[in-house]
Every structure is written in structure tokens, then in C-alpha cells.
């Protein structure tokens, strides 16, 4: 085990933002994940932001082939991966060029000088070498021949080819960063021993390079001292770092356990939702039935069949897949069966930006079906609470006998944060409408008087035979009906059933200010950025008149939404789209002016840009 040894005590910092960048083959995601996990074990609060290229294997050294991983760790509350970077680790010229703008002046850049060849500089569209032309004079640049030092460290390790040696250089960079921020290397060494237990030479190689980077940083005069970030103060309990997609999968596992139903997933792989399928496949011992379908339509159709048979049924996708699932989703709404559709939003339209984040599927989720086809729409807002909202989506679908669309996005799905481990016994009760006792006067569209949820009659149960399908049903018998008045009645009662969900969801709450000059509104995965910006304005810059309201329930909206809106002079709706939620609010609440702040760049909001905008609005 290696621990930091310095002549002086490490300088204590509240928080630090670190970004690792390089080619997609340079292992930046693994490097960032290991640093995040180690810091989490140390007790820091954490938020991460992986940033992948869209191509499976972009040309090496190209600007659009850069893969990055940003981590924000702190002894204080951390709700975003951070804006400006304190330390940039650039493994090649392309990584430096595409990320230099994010580095704070005067802060540190670690560069692998071996990668700054004439060929790589040309690929990154540099006219001159930035290490020589003075363009980096505003930063503290640490030039390290990582590739050469990695080869030197591994010269005595047998059984390694040149490719394996070169691929280990990311561990040299990680070792340096571990020393700089007073982290132990032991967690990563344990990871090597577990992951490569059948390949002892790989364990030896990675361990040697990791330690070589650590000791190189310790002896390097360009790094005057180490820093440390003390553990954060969090509520007592057992924590783990969790990614949003993993949390979503676990939320469904908990819902299945709580409801006493088997979990069925019918899905087709699509970025960035596929990891939910990957995670649930691991848990067949919990009774999970995971079906990788031949296409998106088969995925949702199989889930509808599983719901008809009495399972907690879900299907997962992203924007293009949700478009394909539209007709079948309308069928599930028509026959009033419980179903959860997870849409992990990405940049669109069409194939768009498959590895980048966006919030542009909101109107599609609300209205992207033929006919009058309302469904419940909710949105998770952090990697950790993807667990809660997956659970809540299942609960609402089962208790109200209607489909639920759960919106997440690439930012929170691939991001990670500390999550306090929950017990199923702590979770809210989940009831269902499965018919237990067959009576002579039973009808398939008998409804709960309060929620309007219909019966859930499991096929094969004697006495519960009924018609099923996409044709309009009689309001009592469930037989096909073409009676005009019956169709109007069924259309209205399906809409009313969704509207009554207002009685089962929490009221909207504001943070920081209950009344004032400006109300900042967000929804879904923008929570961390907006919360952080408004918090800074209130607690550090003296703006006590700015409130923050974040929506997780989109259809229906919380009952008290209009009451909240009336308490502020100005309202600004912030979204990673061109204003879709502001349109929803305008349709529902007349007499209010909804200002907009929008960003459609495949990136989350930055703290600085939000703070500047909010200050302008309260002048």
C-alpha cells in the first residue's frame, strides 16, 4: 500500500475538479472511475461526468475521438461535476485542445509529452506545438514522458506486448494524481487483483506503473506539495458510488420485491440506456426475466404481454427508440395495463448525439402517440435518485393501471454519485389491482372510485375471461364498442385517471426562497446545476430573493404548481432543449410570463453561465 509522504502537511481544499482526457483507447473512463471510487471510500462527496465520443472507435488522435471523465470531489455538498477544472490530465494534443478552455488560469495541466508528435499535433489541428509557443503560459504545466516512463517501469515484466505496455500509461497518470491529492493506491491495486486474477502479469504491470507514477510525482520538483480534501459530512449510513443506470435497475428490483411480482424487461440495446439491461441481466436470482428483443417494437410488445400475464413489466430505450415504441405504448394505454417505459434522453433528432445529454424528448413523451393518449410522465434528477423514481414509476403504473414514462438523460445515467443504501422494508408500500376474488358481477372495467384504476385480471383465471386489444372497449364489459358516446366516455375517463394521480404525488416545494424576485424552474437531470447555482447566489453572494423549484412530476403536474408561481415576480425555466417544459407550463397556466434559458450543446449547464443569467434577471 502506498500513501502520500510529503515534507509538509498536505494543503487542505474544500473541493477540486479533475478532468482526464485522451483517446477512447487511453482508458480515461477507468482512470476517472478509480479515482472517484477511491475518493468515495475516503468519504468525499462526489459527482462525475463521463464524456464519450459518439464513434465506437474514432480515428486515433482526432478532435472528435477525445474521451473524457470529469470528477468533482469535496468535503462540502457536491451536486454537479463542476465547471472550471483545477487539474487537467491530457494524454494527447487533441485532448488538450478540446479541453483547455475549461482549465482555470494558474491551475495545473499534466501532459504526456510522448504523445505530442508532429503527426498528433497535425491531427489536433495545431499549427505549432503548444508546449513550445507560449500559449500555455497562464497555466502550471507539468510535462511528463508518460509513455517512456511506463515502458521503463515494465522492462522487467515478462509476457507483455507493446500494446499492453502502452495501454498501462493511464495508470502512471492516475498514480501522479493520487499523490497530488493525498489518496491511497490500495483500492486500485485491489481492483487489479480482482479483475485480472487469471493474468498475474497484467496485475504486476498495472501495479508497477501506478506506483511509478505515484513516486514520480512525489519526487518531482514541479509539484511543490500535495493537497487533500477531507471527508464530507453526510447522514450516517452505508453508502456506495452508483451510476444512474445502475440505480434505475435497482429501483425496479426493489419495486418487484415490494410488490411481490416478477420483473420482466423487454428491451433493445440503445445508447445510453443499454446498461440498465446489462445490470438487470446480472440478477436472474431475483426472478428477473430479461429479454433482448430483435427491435424496439418487439421489446415493448413483449413487455405488454408480460404485464397482461401479471408481471411488473418495463422496457428501456432512448429517443429514437421511444418513437418506434409509440404505437405499442398507445396500446398499453388503451387496454389500461401497467407498464414502465424508461427513456434515457440523448442529443437528437435522428441519431443526433448518441453519447451526449439533452432534454428534448419531453413533448414526445407527453404527446408522441396517435389519438388522445395521456400517460404518466415523471423524471429523475440525480444519478442516485434514479433509484427512487424507478421505484415510483413502478408504483404509479401498478396502482393506477396505466403506462408511466420515466425520463432520465445521458448526464445522470452515466454520471455517478454517493447513494445511501436502502432496504426494501424502508420503501413505500406498492399495492396492485390484481383481482383476488371472482364474483358473479365482475367486469374488466370496474374501477376504483378514487383512482379510477381498472381491475387487473390475470389470464387463465377461471371467471375472469375478457377481451383485450387496441379496439375501443365497452366501459363495463370490455367488449369491442363502436358506440360514439362510449368512446367519448372512455377517452375522458382515461385522461381523468391520469389527472387524479395529482392526489398521490407530493406537492411542489421551493428551495432557498419561498417568495421573491425570481423563481428558477428546472426539471429532470438539470437539478444539480440549477441547485448549485441558486445555492451559491443565496449563501455566498447575498441574493436572498431567488427561489428554486424543480419538477420531477410532469404529467400530471403537482397540485400546488400555480400557487408557487404566484409568489415570484419573475420566472425563468431552464432546460437543455429549446423550451419544451416552458411550453407545457404556458399551456397549463395562463397569466404568467415564463422566461427561458436554454442550452442545446450536448452538455449540462455550467455554474458560471447560470449565475450570470440569474443576476441579470434580478437587476
Q: 452: helix, coil or strand?
A: coil
Q: 450: helix, coil or strand?
A: coil
The C-alpha cell that represents 307 in the structure block: 404485464
Region 470-489: mean pLDDT is 95
Global confidence as pTM: 0.93
The C-alpha cell that represents 322 in the structure block: 421511444
Q: Are the C-beta atoms of 40 and 243 separated by less than 8 Å? A: no
Q: Are the C-beta atoms of 22 and 91 separated by less than 8 Å? A: yes
Q: Are the C-beta atoms of 144 and 110 separated by less than 8 Å? A: yes
The C-alpha cell that represents 490 in the structure block: 372512455
Residue 112 CB partners (closer than 8 Å, separation 6+) = 22, 90, 91, 92, 144, 145, 146, 147, 169, 173
Residue 396 CB partners (closer than 8 Å, separation 6+) = 376, 378, 404, 501, 504
Query: What's the CA gap between 12 and 461, in Å, rounded?
Result: 67
Residues 244-273 pLDDT 10s: 999 999 999 999 999 999 999 999 999 999
Residues 83-126 pLDDT 10s: 889 999 999 999 999 999 999 999 999 999 999 999 999 999 99
Nearest CA to 250 out of 381, 387, 393, 378 is that of 387
Query: What's the CA gap between 208 and 465, in Å, rounded?
Result: 68
Least confident of 33-37, 75-79, 387-391: 75-79
Instruction: Give the single-character DSSP code of 374.
Output: -
Residue 304 CB partners (closer than 8 Å, separation 6+) = 313, 328, 331, 332, 335, 337, 339
Residues 183-198 pLDDT 10s: 999 999 999 999 999 9
Q: How far is CA 429 from the centre of its chain?
A: 26
Nearest CA to 124 out of 154, 87, 99, 88 is that of 99
- pLDDT value at 1 more than 90: no
Residues 400-426 pLDDT 10s: 999 999 999 999 999 999 999 999 999
- pLDDT value at 327 more than 70: yes
Residue-level pLDDT at 224: 60
Residue-level pLDDT at 169: 94
User: Is the bond preceding residue 216 a cis peptide, omega within 30 degrees?
Assistant: no
Residue 128 CB partners (closer than 8 Å, separation 6+) = 135
Q: Are the C-beta atoms of 413 and 382 separated by less than 8 Å? A: no
Report the percentage of the chain scoring pLDDT > 70: 98
Q: How far is CA 280 from the centre of its chain?
A: 17
| More confident of the two residues 231 and 549 | 549
Region 355-368: mean pLDDT is 97
Residue-level pLDDT at 351: 93
Name the average pLDDT for the chain. 93
Provide φ and ψ at 288, rounded to 5°.
-70, 135
The C-alpha cell that represents 326 in the structure block: 409509440
Query: What's the CA gap between 59 and 123, in Å, rounded?
Result: 9
Q: Are the C-beta atoms of 554 and 526 separated by less than 8 Å? A: no
Burial class (CB in 10 A: 0-12, 13-18, 19+), 236: exposed
Residue-level pLDDT at 611: 96
Query: What's the CA gap between 241 and 568, in Å, rounded?
Result: 37
Residue-level pLDDT at 6: 44
- The β-bridge partners of 353 are 347
Most distant pair of Cα atoms in the chain: their distance? 88
Nearest CA to 67 out of 51, 89, 90, 82 is that of 51
- pLDDT value at 2 more than 50: no
Q: Are the C-beta atoms of 428 and 395 separated by less than 8 Å? A: yes
Instruction: Give the single-character DSSP code of 429.
Output: P
470: left (phi over 0), alpha (psi -120 to 50) or beta: alpha
Q: Are the C-beta atoms of 377 and 303 separated by less than 8 Å? A: no
- pLDDT value at 226 more than 80: no
- What sections of 186-229 are H helices per DSSP? 186-195, 200-219
Burial class (CB in 10 A: 0-12, 13-18, 19+), 156: exposed
Nearest CA to 150 out of 173, 176, 169, 175 is that of 169
Burial class (CB in 10 A: 0-12, 13-18, 19+), 591: exposed
Work out whether the CA dihedral 384, 601, 115, 111 comes out positive or negative: negative
Amino acid at each position: 500500500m502506498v500513501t502520500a509522504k510529503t515534507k509538509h502537511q498536505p494543503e487542505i481544499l474544500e473541493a477540486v475538479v479533475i478532468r482526464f482526457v485522451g483517446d477512447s483507447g487511453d482508458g480515461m473512463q477507468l482512470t476517472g472511475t478509480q479515482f472517484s471510487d477511491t475518493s468515495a471510500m475516503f468519504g468525499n462527496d462526489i459527482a462525475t461526468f463521463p464524456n464519450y465520443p459518439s464513434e465506437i472507435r474514432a480515428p486515433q488522435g482526432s478532435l472528435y475521438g477525445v474521451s473524457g471523465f470529469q470528477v468533482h470531489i469535496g468535503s462540502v455538498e457536491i451536486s454537479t461535476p463542476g465547471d472550471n477544472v483545477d487539474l487537467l490530465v491530457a494524454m494527447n494534443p487533441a485532448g488538450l485542445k478540446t479541453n483547455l478552455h475549461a482549465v482555470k488560469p494558474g491551475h495545473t495541466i499534466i501532459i504526456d509529452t510522448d504523445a505530442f508528435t508532429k503527426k498528433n499535433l497535425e491531427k489536433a489541428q495545431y499549427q505549432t506545438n503548444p508546449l513550445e509557443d507560449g500559449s500555455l503560459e497562464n497555466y502550471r504545466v507539468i510535462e511528463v514522458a508518460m509513455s517512456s516512463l511506463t515502458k521503463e517501469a515494465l522492462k522487467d515484466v515478462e509476457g507483455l506486448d507493446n500494446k499492453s505496455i502502452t495501454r498501462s500509461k493511464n495508470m502512471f497518470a492516475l498514480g501522479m494524481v493520487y499523490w497530488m491529492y493525498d489518496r491511497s493506491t490500495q483500492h486500485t491495486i485491489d481492483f487489479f487483483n480482482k479483475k485480472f486474477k487469471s493474468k498475474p502479469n497484467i496485475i504486476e504491470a498495472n501495479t508497477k506503473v501506478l506506483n511509478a507514477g505515484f513516486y514520480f510525482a512525489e519526487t518531482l520538483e514541479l509539484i511543490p506539495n500535495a493537497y487533500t480534501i477531507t471527508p464530507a459530512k453526510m447522514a450516517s449510513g452505508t453508502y456506495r458510488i452508483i451510476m444512474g443506470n445502475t440505480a434505475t435497475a435497482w429501483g425496479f428490483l426493489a419495486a418487484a420485491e415490494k410488490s411481490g411480482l416478477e420483473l420482466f424487461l423487454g428491451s433493445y440495446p440503445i445508447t445510453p440506456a443499454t446498461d440498465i439491461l446489462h445490470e438487470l441481466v446480472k440478477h436472474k436470482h431475483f426472478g428477473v426475466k430479461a429479454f433482448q428483443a430483435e427491435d424496439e417494437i418487439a421489446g415493448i410488445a413483449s413487455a405488454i404481454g408480460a404485464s397482461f400475464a401479471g408481471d411488473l413489466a418495463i422496457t428501456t430505450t432512448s429517443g429514437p427508440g421511444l418513437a418506434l415504441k409509440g404505437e405499442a405504448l398507445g396500446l398499453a394505454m388503451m387496454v389500461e395495463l401497467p407498464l414502465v417505459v424508461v427513456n434515457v434522453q440523448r442529443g437528437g433528432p435522428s441519431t443526433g448525439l448518441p453519447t451526449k445529454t439533452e432534454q428534448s424528448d419531453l413533448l414526445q413523451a407527453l404527446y408522441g402517440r396517435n389519438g388522445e393518449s395521456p400517460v404518466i410522465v415523471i423524471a429523475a434528477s440525480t444519478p442516485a435518485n434514479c433509484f427512487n423514481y424507478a421505484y415510483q414509476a413502478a408504483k404509479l403504473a401498478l396502482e393506477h393501471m396505466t403506462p408511466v414514462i420515466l425520463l432520465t438523460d445521458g448526464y445522470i445515467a452515466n454520471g455517478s454519485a454517493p447513494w445511501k443504501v436502502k432496504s426494501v422494508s424502508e420503501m413505500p408500500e406498492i399495492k396492485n389491482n390484481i383481482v383476488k376474488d371472482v364474483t358473479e358481477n365482475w367486469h374488466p372495467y370496474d374501477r376504483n372510485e378514487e383512482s379510477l384504476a381498472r381491475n387487473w385480471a390475470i389470464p387463465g383465471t377461471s371467471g375472469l375471461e375478457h377481451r383485450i386489444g387496441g379496439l375501443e372497449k365497452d366501459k363495463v364489459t370490455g367488449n369491442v364498442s363502436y358506440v360514439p358516446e362510449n368512446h367519448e366516455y372512455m377517452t375522458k375517463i382515461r385522461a381523468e385517471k391520469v389527472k387524479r394521480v395529482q392526489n398521490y404525488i407530493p406537492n411542489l416545494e421551493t428551495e432557498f426562497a419561498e417568495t421573491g424576485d425570481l423563481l428558477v424552474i428546472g426539471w429532470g437531470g438539470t437539478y444539480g446545476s440549477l441547485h448549485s447555482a441558486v445555492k451559491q447566489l443565496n449563501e455566498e453572494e447575498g441574493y436572498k430573493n431567488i427561489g428554486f423549484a424543480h419538477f420531477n412530476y410532469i404529467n400530471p403536474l403537482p397540485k400546488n404548481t400555480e400557487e408557487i408561481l404566484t409568489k415570484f415576480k419573475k420566472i425563468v425555466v431552464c432546460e437543455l432543449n429549446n423550451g419544451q417544459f416552458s411550453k407545457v407550463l404556458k399551456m397549463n397556466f395562463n397569466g404568467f410570463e415564463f422566461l427561458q434559458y436554454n442550452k442545446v450543446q450536448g452538455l449540462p449547464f455550467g455554474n458560471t453561465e447560470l449565475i450570470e443569467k440569474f443576476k441579470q434577471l434580478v437587476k
